[in-house]
């Protein structure tokens, strides 16, 4: 019977992802664009914040995905560490720039948002700062991949880095809370009784969240395929040399 | 203290270089690896020393049996020759370094800064380290490089003495070692092209 | 293990080994700050704890590349790999040696600089305490970073990129201890956190570092 | 000379060469400051110019050891000594390459960080201007320091000791330009001084560096 | 293009090693320096190449005539073999590197990262650099180290070709170079003890 691990075989992965990719792209496109349009043009302005509240449709999804991206990298790295599936290592490598990109957008939109709300572009608020640190971890992780020639060595080193980094990212988050009490919006539950976001805002937000989720998956799939092709090229060249 | 290698295959940089390597090294035996540049001698020695994990096959020997002397000297320029050897003696828990110094005529250089030694003098220091380790199996990568004839003779004497006391040695070289030993041409283990493929998961159905 | 520490200390004392260099860097870096931010004493006093901690941190950082790089380049690590000493112990010994040659001197020198930045006298013991409790973690994390980047030629900059984010919690708690002490608030809690953090780091880091070393030696 | 610059740039872009690392370090170093001195916006604003300049300075410093050390270790310098290119030109080329891979990126990145330390908008052009005028001097002085310490194994720390004092005037005028612009005073005079200083440095330094190299090769 | 050395004395680390060195090297001539480890071959070559100033005596030759290949390879690990040679070609203003690549059979390795080469392969790259420099006088320090017989032959061919085109070479070695050449034993120039003393201004009336 077919075990899930078969998909970790590069060849199998290429064939499967070829089929899956278009669908994810499609859903991502529809949900993201739809959600954003819905959010931007078909929701009333917020009574306190006015039109600026609409940034939330970019800001929150990117922010949430930025964190999930790192989690996905962690999982992929662990799979590589335990089962030595090359594809999962490459998937982690492929996810890093995407995650960094989302983080950057979350920070940027946040900054743009903070301008009208807090009257300043940047606050050393724990939430914001911890995201900045997350961004730094992304940079380090990417740099490590770049720096090491041998792909397997790089995969192992980045795995160790990713694990240690995750631990310290969490520690610093708590350290930061201890350091400075923030202005930033707390985590909120979207649909419980005393929700601070009325369903009017909530539904398009949920659409955007799903949209960005699929967008992430699509991007990672795409980049993983590229990485695999690069590795294949490398392998084939290596063989040319030997004959 | 025998070293037994069965169906070993060795890789470097994601490429399988050698496969089906089989040999045994018994106490008192010296084995010389021969092969053209880039054939995989260094890689094989590093694999035996446990630095690179083998791609396949088994290496059977006692724990902590191997001492390695590679292309690089492993000498600290700031320390004197004696201090360098003392450090290794401490690491391998052997008592005095005097015999090692004498074996390679390093007594006159003992107090010199290792950084101020000539190529051949450095080489002698790194060879003296082998005696200090007290390990039975020596893995030597081109040990006689930049040694003059006199010191090649010293090296040969040291190796034969080591063999006489039940030690063994496996050496990679292109030049004369100063003593007779059976040679193992590693070209016979060079990986054929079709075997090459299935080592790398990314090289599926490559054109032959 | 003692042998490794002894050798590293000796190397540090030898020409080019640079014992006390970290110290000197600490001095210069901190003395440069007034040039940058201006001589106003109140500003200096307020930022003193942060500056001192940042200075110590950078001084540690700059001496990290000594930890493994040389041993790797001249083949010593290859030979050590075949030695009976496990890499975990090696990593720990290296971290210890680094702290003795870098962290400890910084702790001793800090008060002098604190005077220059006229830190509030009440905060002095806390400064020393926090540095004592914090710097070992800096050395341990640095050893890990050094082990990760040992294969990369001139990995110094890359290493700092990897290590500095790991330094954040230590820096936060360390500086916070002093600032709070200066303001007369409870400084014991952050100090406790700091100590705990350091102990945890010391316990775990050798294994991570050893893993990285093994990978790099392949 | 073009060949040297081209090669150094290529090396910088290659794996492990670490292009953009100086940038990342700059980012981190500046980010760490608030952790040290606390999140208070006003304090940060006042010290922003100094911090930005110090950050740039340290980022330069950390990438200096790449300049000559590797070429010396692998024998490239010996071979270059026999090449028709005089050491003066070599030193200049090295400095230029270092600035292109380090100084220039810093200049471009500074505004972003200035926002985070909420520097007064009026001071932005002056920040960029002063960095543009100042960083070449940092690279040139750094090249000199690198040439002096090329013989010393892991001379990184020693080099920073030699170089940092040389950096003081540049740092002074650079930070002063921005602070004055922030305070609404005349910032042109320090900027002029800075530019003059840089030009003088660029004119003289290659010869000093070349001399140091010759001595170290003996 | 003759190299003429008269009464040269060479030091290293404040010690006078060789004194009264006299020889001439005419176009088409190859001179092999022989001497035990630490006798001063490397020091002499570095002095001829102008890296260390002579303690005394004269070295007469044309400007920019010398190309040096020392113990260290002078190869950038991150660059490919071709890129390495191209850099040197640009530095010495010579046009194409192809002949150099061919002379040492480096065409198959041209695109490889130099860092991933074996000891002998690295050596070949650093020897190929000599051809690229286009300099008439070659100073070679143990050029054939860790080369296999086949590549030693290539090296010999390259040198003889260089000599045939009016070039000359001075080589230090302990091992076979693959071609015949007159040798110069530098032990005859070893500084006697009494001469030793007065070189160092701080060693006045030391005990004989
Ligand atoms: C009043 C203005 C703001 C509001 C209402 C707001 C709201 C939110 C919300 C609802 C989230 C999602 C929380 C979650 O993940 O569950 C979020 C996340 C985030 N926001 Fe904002 N934000 C604001 C301003 C800012 C600003 C100025 C920044 C500065 C860059 C910023 C940066 C972030 C970051 C980094 C996250 C992700 C943190 C996380 O999810 O843990 N936000 N924000
Ligand atoms: N670090 C490395 N990464 C990738 N490939 C390498 C590396 N080192 C060597 N190789 C390649 O592996 C092959 C074997 O190298 P190895 O050093 O084992 O050969 P060798 O027999 O020792 O050669 P030599 O006689 O020149 O020392 C060579 O083709 C070489 O190009
Ligand atoms: N950097 C240095 N500083 C001080 N003394 C040195 C230095 N390098 C070499 N020496 C000493 O100078 C003498 C000559 O060294 P040199 O390298 O010229 O000898 P060599 O003939 O090349 O020896 P080998 O055949 O081993 O290469 C040796 O005694 C050595 O100890
Ligand atoms: Mg080899
Ligand atoms: Mg020599």
> Nearest CA to E69 among E131, E146, E147, E114?
E131
Residues of chain B below pLDDT 70:
1, 192-200, 205-208
Per-residue pLDDT, B44: 92
Per-residue pLDDT, D184: 81
**Residue E38 C-alpha to ligand 3 middle, in angstroms?**
5
Mean pLDDT of the region D60-85: 82
Q: What is the mean pLDDT of chain E?
A: 85
> Nearest CA to B142 among C76, E176, E145?
E145
Q: Which residues 6+ apart lie within 8 Å of D107 measured at CB?
A: D128, D131, D132, D135
Mean pLDDT of the region C148-176: 86
Smallest CA separation from ligand 2 atom 25, residue: B37
A187 lines ligand 1 (CB under 6 A): yes
pLDDT at A191 over 50: no
pLDDT at D124 over 50: yes
Q: Which residues 6+ apart lie within 8 Å of D112 measured at CB?
A: none
Least confident of A204-218, A229-243, D92-106: A229-243
Compute φ and ψ for C76, nearest 5 degrees: -60, -40
The residue to which tokens 């948002």 are assigned:
A113
**% of chain D beyond a pLDDT of 90:** 22
Per-residue pLDDT, D34: 86
Q: Which two tokens stand for residue C43?
A: 């500003």
Q: What is the mean pLDDT of chain C?
A: 86
Per-residue pLDDT, A70: 94
Q: Give the model confidence (pLDDT) of A111-170 as tens digits.
A: 888 777 777 777 777 788 888 889 999 999 998 998 887 888 899 999 999 999 999 888
Contact E141, E41 (CB under 8 A): yes
The ipTM of this complex is 0.84
10 Å Cβ neighbour count for B120?
A: 23
> Nearest CA to C18 among B113, D154, B74, D58?
D154
Per-residue pLDDT, A102: 94
Q: D154, D164, D174, D180: best mutation site toward chain C, by most C Cβ within 10 Å?
A: D154
Q: Give the model confidence (pLDDT) of D139-163 as tens digits.
A: 999 999 989 888 776 666 777 788 8
In angstroms, the CA C33 to CA D49 distance is: 11
Per-residue pLDDT, A193: 46
In angstroms, the CA B202 to CA A234 distance is: 9
- Helix ranges (H only) for C38-152 are 41-62, 69-73, 76-81, 87-98, 104-116, 124-148
Per-residue pLDDT, A182: 61
Confidence band, pLDDT 50/70/90 cuts, at residue C36: confident
Mean pLDDT of the region D25-38: 84
Per-residue pLDDT, A98: 95
Look up residue A46 and give its DSSP letter.
B
A70 lines ligand 1 (CB under 6 A): no
pLDDT at A173 over 50: yes
Per-residue pLDDT, C154: 66
pLDDT at C38 over 80: no
Q: B55, B191, B201: best mutation site toward chain A, by most A Cβ within 10 Å?
A: B201
pLDDT at A220 over 90: yes
Q: Which of A58, A110, A198, A212 to mutate to test the pocket of ligand 1 (most atoms within 8 A of CB)?
A: A110
- CA dihedral sign, ordered C146, C150, C154, C160: negative
β-strand pairing of B137-141 with B168-172? parallel
Q: Which residues 6+ apart lie within 8 Å of B164 measured at CB?
A: B28
Confidence band, pLDDT 50/70/90 cuts, at residue C89: very high
Chains that touch E (3 or more CB pairs under 8 A): A, B, D
Contact B203, A235 (CB under 8 A): yes
Residues 37..76 of C with a Cβ closer than 8 Å to A: which? none
Q: Which residues 6+ apart lie within 8 Å of B98 measured at CB?
A: none
Contact B75, C7 (CB under 8 A): no
> Nearest CA to C33 among C9, C17, C11, C55?
C55
Q: Give the model confidence (pLDDT) of E29-80 as tens digits.
A: 889 998 888 888 999 998 988 888 888 888 888 888 888 888 888 888 888 8
A236 touches chain B (CB under 8 A): yes
Per-residue pLDDT, A188: 55
Residue of E nearest to B120 (CA): E37
CB contact under 8 A, C62 and D157: yes
**Greatest mean pLDDT among D7-21, D192-206, E58-72:** D192-206
CB contact under 8 A, A231 and B202: yes
Per-residue pLDDT, C206: 93
**Residue E109 C-alpha to ligand 3 middle, in angstroms?**
33
The residue to which tokens 């003395």 are assigned:
C31
Q: Which of A163, A168, A179 sits opposite C165 (nearest CB)?
A: A168
Q: Beta partners for B60?
A: B4
pLDDT at A192 over 60: no
Burial code (b: 16+ CB inside 10 Å, e: under 16) for C90-100 equals: bbbbbbbbbbb
In angstroms, the CA B202 to CA B198 distance is: 9
**Residue A184 C-alpha to ligand 1 middle, in angstroms?**
6
In angstroms, the CA D66 to CA D99 distance is: 12
Residues 147..206 of B with a Cβ closer than 8 Å to C: which? none
The residue to which tokens 């926090």 are assigned:
C130
pLDDT at A228 over 80: yes
In angstroms, the CA C99 to CA C145 distance is: 15
Per-residue pLDDT, E208: 46
A106 lines ligand 1 (CB under 6 A): yes
B150 touches chain E (CB under 8 A): yes
Confidence band, pLDDT 50/70/90 cuts, at residue A30: confident
Contact D39, A124 (CB under 8 A): yes
Per-residue pLDDT, A1: 42
């Amino acid at each position: 019977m077919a075990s899930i691990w078969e998909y970790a075989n590069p060849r199998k992965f290429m064939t499967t992802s070829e089929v899956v990719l278009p669908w994810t792209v499609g859903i991502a496109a529809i949900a993201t664009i739809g959600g954003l349009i819905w959010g931007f043009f078909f929701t009333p302005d917020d009574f306190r914040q006015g039109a600026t509240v609409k940034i939330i449709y970019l800001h929150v999804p990117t922010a949430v995905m930025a964190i999930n991206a790192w989690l996905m990298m962690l999982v992929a790295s662990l799979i590589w560490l335990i089962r030595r599936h090359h594809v999962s290592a490459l998937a982690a490598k492929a996810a890093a720039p995407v995650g960094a990109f989302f983080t950057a957008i979350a920070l940027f939109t946040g900054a743009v948002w903070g301008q009208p709300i807090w009257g300043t572009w940047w606050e050393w608020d724990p939430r914001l700062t911890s995201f900045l640190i997350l961004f730094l971890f992304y940079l380090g992780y990417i740099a490590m991949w770049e720096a090491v020639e041998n792909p397997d060595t790089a995969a192992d080193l980045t795995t160790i880095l990713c694990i240690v980094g995750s631990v310290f990212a969490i520690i610093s988050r708590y350290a930061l809370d201890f350091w400075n009490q923030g202005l930033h919006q707390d985590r909120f539950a979207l649909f419980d009784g005393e929700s601070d976001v009325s369903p009017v805002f909530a539904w398009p937000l949920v659409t955007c969240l799903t949209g960005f989720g699929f967008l992430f998956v699509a991007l990672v799939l795409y980049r993983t395929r590229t990485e695999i092709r690069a590795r294949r090229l490398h392998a084939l060249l290596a063989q040319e040399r030997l004959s | 203290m025998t070293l037994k290698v069965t169906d070993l295959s060795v890789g470097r940089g994601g490429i399988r270089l050698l496969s089906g390597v089989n040999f045994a090294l018994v106490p008192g035996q010296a084995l010389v690896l021969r092969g053209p540049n880039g054939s995989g001698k260094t890689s094989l020695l590093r694999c035996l020393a446990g630095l690179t994990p083998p791609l396949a096959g088994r290496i059977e020997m006692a724990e902590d049996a191997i001492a390695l002397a590679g292309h690089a000297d492993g000498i600290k320029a700031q320390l004197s020759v004696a201090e360098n050897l003392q450090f290794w003696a401490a690491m391998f828990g052997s008592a005095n370094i005097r015999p090692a110094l004498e074996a390679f005529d390093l007594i006159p250089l003992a107090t010199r800064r290792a950084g101020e030694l000539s190529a051949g003098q450095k080489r002698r220091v790194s060879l003296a380290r082998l005696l200090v380790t007290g390990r039975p199996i020596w893995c030597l990568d081109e040990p006689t490089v930049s040694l003059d004839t006199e010191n090649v003779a010293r090296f040969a004497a040291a190796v034969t003495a080591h063999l006489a006391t039940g030690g063994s040695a496996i050496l990679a070289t292109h030049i004369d070692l100063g003593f007779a030993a059976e040679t193992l041409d590693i070209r016979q283990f060079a990986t054929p092209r079709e075997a090459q493929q299935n080592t790398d998961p990314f090289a599926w159905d490559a054109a032959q | 293990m003692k042998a490794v520490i002894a050798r590293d200390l000796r190397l540090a004392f030898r020409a080019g080994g640079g014992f006390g260099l970290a110290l000197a860097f600490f001095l210069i870096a901190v003395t440069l700050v007034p040039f940058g931010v201006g001589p106003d004493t109140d500003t200096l006093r307020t930022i003193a704890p942060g500056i001192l901690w940042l200075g110590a941190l950078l001084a540690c950082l700059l001496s990290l590349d000594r930890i493994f790089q040389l041993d790797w380049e001249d083949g010593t690590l290859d030979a050590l790999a075949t030695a009976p000493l496990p890499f975990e112990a090696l990593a720990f010994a290296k971290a210890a040696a680094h702290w003795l040659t870098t962290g400890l001197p910084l702790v001793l020198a800090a008060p002098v600089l604190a005077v220059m930045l006229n830190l509030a006298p009440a905060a002095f013991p806390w400064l020393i305490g926090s540095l004592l409790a914090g710097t070992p973690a800096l050395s341990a994390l640095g050893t890990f970073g050094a082990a990760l980047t040992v294969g990369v030629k001139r990995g110094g900059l890359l290493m700092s990129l990897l290590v500095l984010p790991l330094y954040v919690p230590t820096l936060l708690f360390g500086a916070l201890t002093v600032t709070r002490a200066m303001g007369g608030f409870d400084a014991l809690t952050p100090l406790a956190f700091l100590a705990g953090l350091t102990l945890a780091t010391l316990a775990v880091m050798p294994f991570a570092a050893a893993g990285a070393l093994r990978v790099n030696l392949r």
